């Protein structure tokens, strides 16, 4: 190697090292950049929404344009009913299907189930809204909380199945085998050994599912439609928090925009609290069971 060649080599190596450092810093910047919208949204919603957040906001009904005060009690009750209906429809079949998926993952039905769960989780929520509309609203000829609950249940189902299945798989095989060896039938083993062993994981899965559907507005536009009065009937149109945000946000009134921010603060606090606690439980559980 001549001196000139060695010098050229050294220069090239320095360039390579510099490229590496620059590109690696760029990936760090990208990560920082991705956190910006999250912080910005949280800060803005808290600032704008916090100004009008009073106890009255939770307990009183909406007021007409220009009238001070008022709240979103109807939407809070409505969201609770809708999410409750969705949980009622989605959790029992979700748990059982997850049980099947964790016991027979490679049987034909097990593979089909995984495929079906993937398909369901990929269906846009607006399309699920059309589905619930054709199934319930169209035959009945009126919007209802029931149709909204059904739409949310379909959206919730894959989340519940996936996370429950993952948690059931973490339960040590020995537990199941010990129970069967003692002569307990499968159903008793599932109900009294496997589910209790995975119960915190199952609950976190349900919490994530609830958080996911509590923020859905699109399918509700076609199914539960919204209601400016307090309704607790599942056969009637019903209000919901995300739907209320949409209606207030696109209206041309300043005081409604303020209410949209406050409602958004309530909704985002609920959804993030569910997510954060679910993930904390999940990581704690994985450390406990997954470390074997």
The whole-angstrom separation of Cα 128 and Cα 126 is 5
Q: Which is nearer to other proteins, 81 or 98 (CB)?
A: 98
Shortest distance in whole angstroms from residue 121 CB to other proteins: 8
Among 7, 8, 38, 199, binds other proteins (CB under 8 A): 38
Among 186, 229, 232, 253, binds other proteins (CB under 8 A): 186
Shortest distance in whole angstroms from residue 143 CB to other proteins: 8
Positive or negative torsion for Cα 162, 168, 169, 170: positive
Shortest distance in whole angstroms from residue 196 CB to other proteins: 17
DSSP tag of 72 = -
Q: Which is nearer to other proteins, 19 or 233 (CB)?
A: 19
Size of the site for other proteins (CB under 8 A): 91
Yes or no: say if 159 and 250 are a contact pair by the CB < 8 Å rule: no
Among 11, 19, 51, 142, binds other proteins (CB under 8 A): 19
Among 6, 10, 12, 29, binds other proteins (CB under 8 A): 29
| Own/partner long-range contacts of 38-47 (Cβ < 8 Å, ≥24 apart) | 41/268, 42/268, 42/272, 45/261, 45/264, 45/265, 45/268, 46/265
Please, where are the H alpha helices in 51-134?
Answer: 55-59, 73-103, 108-122, 125-132
Shortest distance in whole angstroms from residue 71 CB to other proteins: 18
Contacts (CB under 8 A) with other proteins, residues 188-217: 188, 190, 211-212, 214-217
Contacts (CB under 8 A) with other proteins, residues 240-279: 242-243, 245-246, 249-250, 257, 260-261, 264, 267-268, 271-272, 275-276, 279
User: Judged by CB under 8 A, does residue 187 bind other proteins?
Assistant: yes
Residue 48's CB: how many other CB atoms inside 10 A? 16
Q: Which is nearer to other proteins, 197 or 222 (CB)?
A: 222
Angle, nearest 10°, between helix axes 145-170 and 73-103? 40
Shortest distance in whole angstroms from residue 290 CB to other proteins: 14
User: Judged by CB under 8 A, does residue 58 bind other proteins?
Assistant: no
User: Judged by CB under 8 A, does residue 161 bind other proteins?
Assistant: yes
Among 7, 10, 44, 199, binds other proteins (CB under 8 A): 44
Burial class (CB in 10 A: 0-12, 13-18, 19+), 257: middle
* 71: nearest Cα among 219, 237, 230, 252: 230
User: Judged by CB under 8 A, does residue 169 bind other proteins?
Assistant: no
HEC letters along 88-110: HHHHHHHHHHHHHHHHCCCCHHH
Distances 110 to 101, 120, 158, 188 between C-alpha atoms, Å? 5, 15, 14, 22
Shortest distance in whole angstroms from residue 48 CB to other proteins: 8
Shortest distance in whole angstroms from residue 190 CB to other proteins: 7
Contacts (CB under 8 A) with other proteins, residues 87-146: 92-97, 99-101, 103, 109-110, 112-113, 116-120, 122-131, 133-135, 138
Q: Which is nearer to other proteins, 198 or 221 (CB)?
A: 221
């Amino acid at each position: 190697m001549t001196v000139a060649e060695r010098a050229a080599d050294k220069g090239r190596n320095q360039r390579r090292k510099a490229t590496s450092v620059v590109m690696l810093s760029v990936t760090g910047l990208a990560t920082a950049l991705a956190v910006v919208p999250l912080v910005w949204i949280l800060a803005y919603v808290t600032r704008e929404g916090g100004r009008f957040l009073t106890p009255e906001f939770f307990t009183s009904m909406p007021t007409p344009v220009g009238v001070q005060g008022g709240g979103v009690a109807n939407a809070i009750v409505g969201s609770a009913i809708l999410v409750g209906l969705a949980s009622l429809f989605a959790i029992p079949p979700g748990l059982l299907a997850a049980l099947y998926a964790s016991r027979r993952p490679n049987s034909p039905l097990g593979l089909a189930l995984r495929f079906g769960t993937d398909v369901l989780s990929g269906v846009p929520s607006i399309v699920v809204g059309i589905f619930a509309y054709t199934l319930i609203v169209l035959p009945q000829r009126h919007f209802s909380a029931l149709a909204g609950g059904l739409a949310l249940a379909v959206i919730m189902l894959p989340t519940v199945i996936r996370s429950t299945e993952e948690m059931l798989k973490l339960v040590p095989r020995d537990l199941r085998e010990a129970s069967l060896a003692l002569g307990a039938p499968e159903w008793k083993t599932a109900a009294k050994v496997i589910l209790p062993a995975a119960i915190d994981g199952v609950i976190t899965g349900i919490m994530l599912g609830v958080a996911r559907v509590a923020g859905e507005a699109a399918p509700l536009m076609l199914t539960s439609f919204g209601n400016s009065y307090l309704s607790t009937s599942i056969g009637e149109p019903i209000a919901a928090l995300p739907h209320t945000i949409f209606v207030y946000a696109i209206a041309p009134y300043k005081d409604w925009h303020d209410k949209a921010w406050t409602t958004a603060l309530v909704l985002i606090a609920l959804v993030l609290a569910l997510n954060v606690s679910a993930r904390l439980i999940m990581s704690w559980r994985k450390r406990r069971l997954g470390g074997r």
